[in-house]
Amino acid sequence: NDKKTIRAQAAPIAGGDVWSGVWVIIEYSNGKIAPVSWELLGEGRKLADAIGCGLCGVIAGNQVDSVIPEAFAHGAEKVYVIDDPILQDYRTEPYAEAITNVVKKYQPEIILMGATSMGRDVFPAIATRLQTGLTADCTVLGIDPETKLLQQTRPAFGGNIMATILCRTSRPQMATVRPRVMAMPERVEGRVGEIIREEIAFEESDFHTKVLEFINMDAKSAFLDKAEIIVAVGLGLAAKRNLVIAEELAEVLGATIAGTRGAVEAGWLNHDQQVGQSGVTVRPKVYIAIGISGAIQHLVGMETSDFIIAINNDPEAAILKVANYGIVGDLFQVVPAMTAEFKKR
């Protein structure tokens, strides 16, 4: 609430500074590319066209050359590559340093990254180094037609409002975006662009952390954001022992189990199975919501699902408003009946 202090912290745009271009930080870790990187190249294309500037990708890691053609195929015109053994395993400090140095050198106007574990960790560290603002967890991006500033929209005040934020006084404008809220762009095989290789200006001894071991998460829940069919449960289920009703339906459909924060806090599910504002954003082909009220914090994580089926005994429940099929009834009767019917097919 001290506006003067907040302003003083932001680095003003120096006279004569030219900040240009939309950049997407492509997340590559343990040999895997986070698909949100491609979603952001698709969204970045629209932003770059609205401003009239270029679209670039940044790839940091060790032995990343296989990622470069993919970045072009998904729409990057130019790719900055920071390839060094120090960047083998993700760690905040070397990644933040490497990306910050390239940003300082080329001065992009906008930089975007997925609101993944890595994006949520490294982007604040980069924003602090650059002394600029960061809007985390955006669900909508746009360009203000008058000022050409990035409109960064995200849930605020516990999800009760959607706030659109502009970063007026510092550059670059930085945002993380939730996976699966932006559409995947068309992949064009063989598209080419410019490659710019950057050296790192630090050594291993500059850092305080070392990766000792990777422990894989439970495979079932780790891939929630890629599941095609999700059966999600809420507090309407009343007790953990009733989870079996949802599990039986999920088994017949080959679906993945997820749930609300209520279900997670009740100890029925793990946190990585939570859908919503403080959990995972999902975009399955089918989302079946069982005994879920449809609080805004839950809806922001699932409302872009292709097809939503909701079962709730309250005809006024908010989830029924976003559902393609709403079934008003007792889940203890409806869900077993659905399972029995699907078993026949």
Binding site for ligand FAD (CB under 6 A): 158, 234-236, 260-263, 274-279, 291-293, 295, 297-298, 301, 311-314, 317, 330-332
CB of 274 to ligand FAD, least distance (A): 5
Helix (H) or strand (E) holding 121: helix 117-130
Q: What is the DSSP string of 277-326?
A: TTSB----SEEEEES----HHHHTTTTT-SEEEEEES-TT-THHHH-SEE
Q: What is d(CA 102, CA 83) in angstroms, rounded to the nearest whole number?
A: 12
Q: How far is the CB of 287 from ligand FAD (least distance, A)?
A: 13
CB of 341 to ligand FAD, least distance (A): 18
Task: Evaluate the CA torsion angle 119, 155, 148, 51 in order and state its sign.
Answer: positive
Nearer to ligand FAD, 81 or 323 (CB): 323
Closest CA relative to residue 327, chosen from 277, 289, 279, 273: 289
Query: Taking the complex as a whole, how short is the minimal distance between the CB of residue 330 and ligand FAD, in angstroms?
Result: 5
Distance CA(97)–CA(201), nearest Å, equals 9
Would strands 134-138 and 55-61 be described as parallel, antiparallel, or unpaired? unpaired
Q: Residue 125 or 296: which CB sits closer to ligand FAD?
A: 296
List 110's β-bridge partners, or say none: 22, 173
**Minimal CB distance to ligand FAD: which residue?**
276
In the complex, what is the shortest distance from the CB of residue 124 to ligand FAD, in angstroms, rounded to a whole number? 18
Bridge partners (DSSP) of residue 213 are none
Q: Give me the DSSP letters along 196-227.
A: EEE-----GGG-S-------PPPHHHHTGGG-
Nearest to 253 by CA among 269, 232, 279: 232
- For residues 58 and 295, which CB has a smaller minimum distance to ligand FAD in the complex? 295
160 vs 169 by CB, closer to ligand FAD: 160
CB of 333 to ligand FAD, least distance (A): 8
Q: What is the DSSP letter of 97?
A: H
The least CB distance from residue 114 to ligand FAD, in Å, is 17
| Contact status, residue 172 vs residue 103, Cβ threshold 8 Å | yes
Residue with Cβ nearer ligand FAD (256 or 312): 312
Please identify, using beta-carbon distances, which residue of 126 and 292 lies nearer to ligand FAD.
Answer: 292
Task: State which residue, 37 or 277, has the beta carbon closest to ligand FAD.
Answer: 277
